């Protein structure tokens, strides 16, 4: 037969780095499933596409993304309360279990703060 000239990999992401008998697929999102297929090609043509044995392949989860700045809702303040709001970060493949809010008596730039921890 004709020698194998190359393999082709078809996945959901461009920028594949082919290295012999394995392929590193960069820039995938954490905790997401991906489907892959492979085929061999020589000068006579291409084999049928074959699915990966483990299909879909799921990337591992990772730490949540960085939180955006917390905002105080001016209209909701009273003499003894404030309302804070924020956007939830991307969970990166693992559901958020809770949020922690720290109440700082002084700004951290002024030294070691006294604090109380609030959990929700």
Token duo for residue 73: 């809702």
pLDDT of res. 25? 81
Are 35 and 51 a contacting pair, CB within 8 Å? Answer: yes
* DSSP letter (8 states) at residue 13: -
pLDDT of res. 13? 44
Domains contained in the chain, number: 2
- 54 and 10 within one domain: yes
- 78 and 54 within one domain: no
pLDDT of res. 48? 93
Residue segments in the chain with a per-residue pLDDT below the cut of 70 = 1-21, 107-120
For the question of whether the overall pTM of this predicted structure is more than 0.85, the answer is: no
Are 28 and 17 a contacting pair, CB within 8 Å? Answer: no
Whether residue 65 is contained in a domain is answered as no
Distance separating alpha carbons of residues 16 and 23, to the nearest angstrom:
7
The residue among 58, 85, 104 that closes a domain is 58
Structural domain including 100 reads 71-119
- 44 and 9 within one domain: yes
Whether residue 63 is contained in a domain is answered as no
């Amino acid at each position: 037969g004709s020698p194998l000239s190359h393999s082709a990999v078809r996945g959901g992401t461009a920028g594949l780095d082919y290295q012999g008998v394995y392929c590193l697929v960069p820039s995938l999102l954490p905790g997401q499933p991906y489907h892959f297929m492979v085929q061999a090609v020589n000068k006579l043509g291409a084999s049928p596409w074959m699915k990966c044995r483990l299909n879909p392949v799921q990337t591992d989860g990772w730490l949540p993304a960085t939180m955006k700045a917390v905002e105080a809702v001016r209209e909701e303040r009273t003499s003894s309360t404030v309302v804070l709001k924020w956007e939830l970060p991307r969970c990166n493949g693992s559901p958020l279990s809770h949020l922690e809010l720290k109440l700082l008596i002084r700004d951290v730039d002024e030294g070691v703060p006294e604090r109380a921890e609030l959990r929700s």
